[in-house]
């Protein structure tokens, strides 16, 4: 029985280890030798959640080691666990349990920070998207490279990066969990920003579900398409009237979706046909 418990504990520790060759438990690291990570994906720390963590650490201690990178100066940079680090500092602790990761560059450190946070579901979609954007823009990784490194599909990386195109107020709402990732993805299907913002406020004020939002968006898009078709019809009618006035006969213009089409010109006799041709050829 004791052996089984021992193996279970060993297995549990190993599941936390991303790479046995690169990461090891360093025991207790002095808090005064740890500095925050400038590339930390998480940007906001909820005050009430932080207080809950502080209370938990005060009562039971830091149960889950943070992950750090050792610098040449003897200092450490946080890769994952900044909330635990901040809570421990607030409590005046001197030491904190930490895993040390051996990595060589800033790009790899950003990857580890993202992976650690994603695996613990600690990042909201905007923070995740911003992390991917840094890997893509600053460290020149392709979306396929990012997908492989964080074990996600390429389409998921693409969808997350698209969130950064949302208006600032909507991004902030997603960051603050006022709307969900599903709401944000649905809003991205709306082309006009003024229509998008109108619907966003409706989601907030009426507490719309993602499904209700998607239904509304479907109606909006259908209405816009109908309006576009009406505009095209009005333009075609103007052109038909213009041509009819010039050649003095009925004209019908048919337009396809790709703006190709045909013109039908009515004539009552061979003499009338000749007259139309002379007008059109300016003879």
Active site residues: 82
Is residue 182 a contact partner of residue 210, using CB atoms and an 8 Å limit?
Answer: yes
| SS3 of residue 101 by DSSP | strand
| Rounded Cα–Cα distance for residues 90 and 94 (Å) | 11
| Rounded Cα–Cα distance for residues 147 and 162 (Å) | 15
Query: H/E element holding 253?
Result: strand 251-255
**Phi and psi at residue 85, in whole multiples of 5°?**
-65, -45
Instruction: Record the tokens describing residue 269, joined without a space.
Output: 């006799």
- Could you tell me which residues come within 8 angstroms of residue 246 by beta carbon, excluding any fewer than 6 positions away? 279
Instruction: Record the tokens describing residue 171, joined without a space.
Output: 């991004």
| Rounded Cα–Cα distance for residues 267 and 153 (Å) | 61
Question: DSSP alpha helices (H): ranges in the chain?
Answer: 2-15, 47-60, 82-90, 106-119, 125-137, 143-149, 154-162, 168-175, 181-187, 193-206, 210-247, 270-281
| Rounded Cα–Cα distance for residues 25 and 83 (Å) | 19
| SS3 of residue 77 by DSSP | strand
Instruction: Record the tokens describing residue 258, joined without a space.
Output: 């790709």
Q: Is 186 exposed, middle or buried (0-12, 13-18, 19+ CB in 10 A)?
A: buried
């Amino acid at each position: 029985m004791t052996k089984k418990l021992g193996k279970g504990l060993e297995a549990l520790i190993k599941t936390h280890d991303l790479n046995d060759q690169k990461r090891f438990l360093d025991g207790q690291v002095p808090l005064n030798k740890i500095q925050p990570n400038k590339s930390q994906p998480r940007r906001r720390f909820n005050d009430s959640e932080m207080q809950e963590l502080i209370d938990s650490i005060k009562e039971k201690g830091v149960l889950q080691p943070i992950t750090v990178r050792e610098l040449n100066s003897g200092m450490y940079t946080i890769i994952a666990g900044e909330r635990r680090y901040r809570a421990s500092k607030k409590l005046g602790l001197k030491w904190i349990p930490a895993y040390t990761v051996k990595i060589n560059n800033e790009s790899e450190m950003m990857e580890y920070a993202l992976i650690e946070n994603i695996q613990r579901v600690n990042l909201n979609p905007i923070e995740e998207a911003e992390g991917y954007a840094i890997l893509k823009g600053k460290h020149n990784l392709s979306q396929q490279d990012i997908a492989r490194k964080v074990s996600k599909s390429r389409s998921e990386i693409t969808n997350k990066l698209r969130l950064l195109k949302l208006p600032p107020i909507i991004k902030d709402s997603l960051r603050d969990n006022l709307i969900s990732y599903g709401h944000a993805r649905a809003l991205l299907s709306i082309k006009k920003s003024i229509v998008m913002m109108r619907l966003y406020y409706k989601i907030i004020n009426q507490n719309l579900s993602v499904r209700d939002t998607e239904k509304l968006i479907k109606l909006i898009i259908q209405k816009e398409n109908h309006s576009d078709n009406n505009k095209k019809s009005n333009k075609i009618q103007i052109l038909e009237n213009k041509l009819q006035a010039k050649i003095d006969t009925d004209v019908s213009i048919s337009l396809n979706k790709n703006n190709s089409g045909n013109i039908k010109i009515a004539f009552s006799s061979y003499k009338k046909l000749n007259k139309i041709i002379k007008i059109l050829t300016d003879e």
